Amino acid sequence: MRQPVSGFSKKSKEQKIEWLLATYFNSASSVKEIIQQYYTSDVSLQQLHDDFIENAITNYYLPFGIAPNFLINGQLYTLPMVTEESSVVAAASNAAKFWLERGGFTAEVISTVKNGQVHIDFYGDANILVEFFEATKLKLIASLDTLQKNMKKRGGGLLDIELLDASATLEGYYQLHCTFETLDAMGANFINTCLEQLATTFTIESQNYKTFGLEKPKVVMSILSNYVPECLVRAEVHCKVEDLAQEHILGETFAKNFVRAINIAKSETRRAVTHNKGIMNGIDAVVLATGNDFRAVEAGVHAYAAKNGYYGSLTHATIEDGVFRFWIELPLALGTVGGLTSLHPLARFALQLLQNPSARELMQQVAVAGLAQNFAAIKSLVTVGIQKGHMKMHLMNILNQLGASSAEKEKARIYFKENSVSHSAVERFVEDLRS
């Protein structure tokens, strides 16, 4: 029977691995070989990886790919993408090439404001809390002078503090809603540090505010929000409808079917979830490659997709006066300094590949990646279907699962250029080769 382990984080890496193998695995030697196989031979680089998280025992590799030919605001870029899904990089590259010949992508940052809250319980007279806040607001702001000195020098920092009454939603609930500009930093640590200082100052000042009497406000917690609807970016493509013509498909037919598919995703949640997941295939891949927090981005983007009270498409498409327009507008809180962006060698490489963008420029590049991914998906859905291209890209995964040799892989590539790919079909093909 397995027993709990104590003091695990204080054990050496080797001790942690030995405990893991002894506790959970019968064939310890083969498992240990797998763990060590993914170490890097560069000792200092391996130590850097080990220091990223607690209890690290090895590295988990994902493919780092590139998608070329992205024309964004008149500049040509190659996007770095980290993902395990077979068709993502191919789809992005195809969309980039398609729009390269039709004027490319345009993108603009609408706003870059981030936010966080000090959450407060107060069951007394709301008017007294408002009076206290108005009397104390300048002290709250001044308490951040040291913390935001450097950020203010660069043009960022706290923008404003508001007292919000949310007691209609939750009894006794109020918040200090704080807005920030963090420039090229994602800013999570900066914002959280500021919020905790505001919470401390608020608590001290409220204890000395005699008008409260015995019913004083209490700080519950202070934390940034990953819902950043004021940190918005927009990306778009457009062309004449006739320029969308493809083999066997009129431009007008393609445009109408495309717009209809977008409108379905706007009106049907079950479709919208998969639709937006495809968008995030592209966004997450670039966010991860550049060392940014893809979980925070995911949470904020999906909340934004439900901002109207229902969950719908992040992308939009219209046909007006013979012109097809396709665009995305979404919140992206990203950074190009701090965190993994400067620590991880491949994150640094990814940002160099993107020509060392500012946070605003990275927002545009990431939004374009999402728009391109969605265009490629909808284009497939309304023409040949999603599986044809996806399964072609998945072919190599199936062959690797079957332990195919290089010669078998080459014969399979040739055969499945003209035949439908499925796991069973590939399995039969390999079996026939071997027999």
- What amino acid positions are annotated as catalytic residues? 85, 277, 293, 390
d(C-alpha 432, C-alpha 435), whole Å: 5
Beta strands in 90-245 (DSSP E): 106-109, 114-121, 157-165, 173-181, 218-224, 232-240
Interior angle at CA 304, CA 303 and CA 305, nearest 5: 90
224 vs 296: CA distance, rounded Å: 11
Distance, in Å, from the CA atom of 276 to the CA atom of 13, rounded to the nearest integer, reads 40
DSSP 207-222: HT-GGGTT---EEEEE
- Cβ neighbors of 216 (< 8 A, separation 6 or more) are 122, 124, 206, 207, 209
What is the C-alpha R_g of the chain? 26
Judge whether 135 and 205 are in contact, CB under 8 Å: no
Q: How far apart are CA 341 and CA 349, in angstroms?
A: 9
**8 A C-beta contact, residue 341 and residue 347:** yes
- 3 state SS for 151-172: HHHCCCEEEEEEEEECCCCCCC
Please, which residues have CB within 8 angstroms of residue 404's CB and are 6 or more apart in sequence? 412, 430
First-residue to last-residue Cα distance in the chain? 47
